[in-house]
Amino acid sequence: SHSSLPSSSSTTHVRCCASTVLSRTEARRNSWLRGGRHPTSTTAHVEAKAHASEMEGRRFSDRMKEKANVHWERAVRHRFVDELGDGTLERAVFQRYLLQDYVFVNAFASLLGSTVAKAPTMASKAPLATFLADVTSQENDYFLRSFEALGVRLEQWENETPSQATMGFQNLIQEATSDACHYGEALSTLLAAEWSYLTWATSLGTKRPEAFYFAEWIDLHAIPEFQNFVGWLREETDRVGREADLELQEKMTGRFCSMMELEVAFFDDAYTAKQIH
């Protein structure tokens, strides 16, 4: 969901308090984004023609979002988002959310690393690798500062038990990191998380609560540099989707939809605090 900081290959990352956000954000700004029948059969011909017609003039990423529309809308309009923007989100809810997100990010970093390895060109590897560097360094700094401010002890965030939704994310990500999983499936898994977070964060406009761990969380997912990364991620997913056969397109769409269903559950779990024991 959830790791989304724009980058600086040599400086800092955050989701930070008002006095610190500007300097850290400026630092990031300075270095970002630098079936079985013979193919001649009538059935195969009709399927190929329908496939080409459906793809024409439509972005593959938009088609995936349409398939996941129910879960997409519930995620980007969740009460968690409204309360976060208004600054009325209970500290205990955000604490549970952030602890689970830290568990998620550990798996998410592995997915990014795997996707870098699968990317076919240096031009594709570079944005993903830069993003991975942020997640494993500068984003980690945000978590540690926020845990301290929220009174979360070291033993808690090092040993947090995954919620049901987080466990679902871990399982889906583990599949996406496997050698058997196509580059396109990894992209669609990443895109669901990052694009949905960009959407809800930008929907909050200029709302920035006083608490730095609220304000910076919104900033990280709304600043232009993150918009640029998600824009690239969409374009790369669209490119792979256009070139994919129907089977791969269905797999990519299925992963996108599964991720969006889990995004809703992830927000819900922050309120219900159900965990796997």
How much is the pTM?
A: 0.80
| Higher per-residue confidence, 149 vs 36 | 149
**Could you give the percent of the chain with pLDDT greater than 70?**
78
pLDDT for 37:
36
Whether 48 and 245 have beta carbons less than 8 Å apart is answered as: no
Give the tens place of pLDDT for each residue, 82-141: 999 999 999 999 999 999 999 999 999 999 999 999 999 999 999 999 999 888 887 788
Q: Phi and psi dihedrals of 6, rounded to 5?
A: -70, 160
pLDDT, average across residues 144-172: 94
- CA–CA distances in Å: residue 40 to residues 44, 245, 248: 7, 16, 21
Q: How many CB atoms lie within 10 A of CB 90?
A: 11
**Tokens describing residue 227:** 């918009």
What residue type is assigned to position 67 of the chain? Answer: K
pLDDT for 136:
83
Query: Who contacts 255 (Cβ-Cβ below 8 Å, separation ≥6)?
Result: 172, 176, 185, 188, 189, 192
Of the candidates 277, 270, 275, 271, the residue with the CA atom closest to the CA atom of residue 101:
270
Give the tens place of pLDDT for each residue, 169-196: 999 999 999 999 999 999 999 999 999 9
Cα atoms found within 13 Å of the Cα of residue 222, Cβ hemisphere only: 18
Write out the DSSP string of 203-271.
HTTT---SSHHHHHHHHHTTSHHHHHHHHHHHHHHHHHHHHS-HHHHHHHHHHHHHHHHHHHHHHHHHH
Distance from C-alpha of 134 to C-alpha of 141, rounded to nearest angstrom: 10
Q: How many CB atoms lie within 10 A of CB 49?
A: 10
Whether 220 and 84 have beta carbons less than 8 Å apart is answered as: no
| Higher per-residue confidence, 170 vs 27 | 170
| Higher per-residue confidence, 13 vs 206 | 206
**Tokens describing residue 94:** 């955000």
Of the candidates 208, 259, 265, the residue with the CA atom closest to the CA atom of residue 61:
259
**Tokens describing residue 46:** 């009709």
Residue 264, burial from CB neighbour count under 10 angstroms (0-12, 13-18, 19+): buried
Whether 163 and 100 have beta carbons less than 8 Å apart is answered as: yes
Q: How many CB atoms lie within 10 A of CB 166?
A: 24
**In this predicted structure, which of 34-43, 98-107, 222-231 has the lowest mean pLDDT?**
34-43
| Higher per-residue confidence, 257 vs 46 | 257
Distance from C-alpha of 133 to C-alpha of 7, rounded to nearest angstrom: 8
Of the candidates 70, 102, 61, the residue with the CA atom closest to the CA atom of residue 217:
102
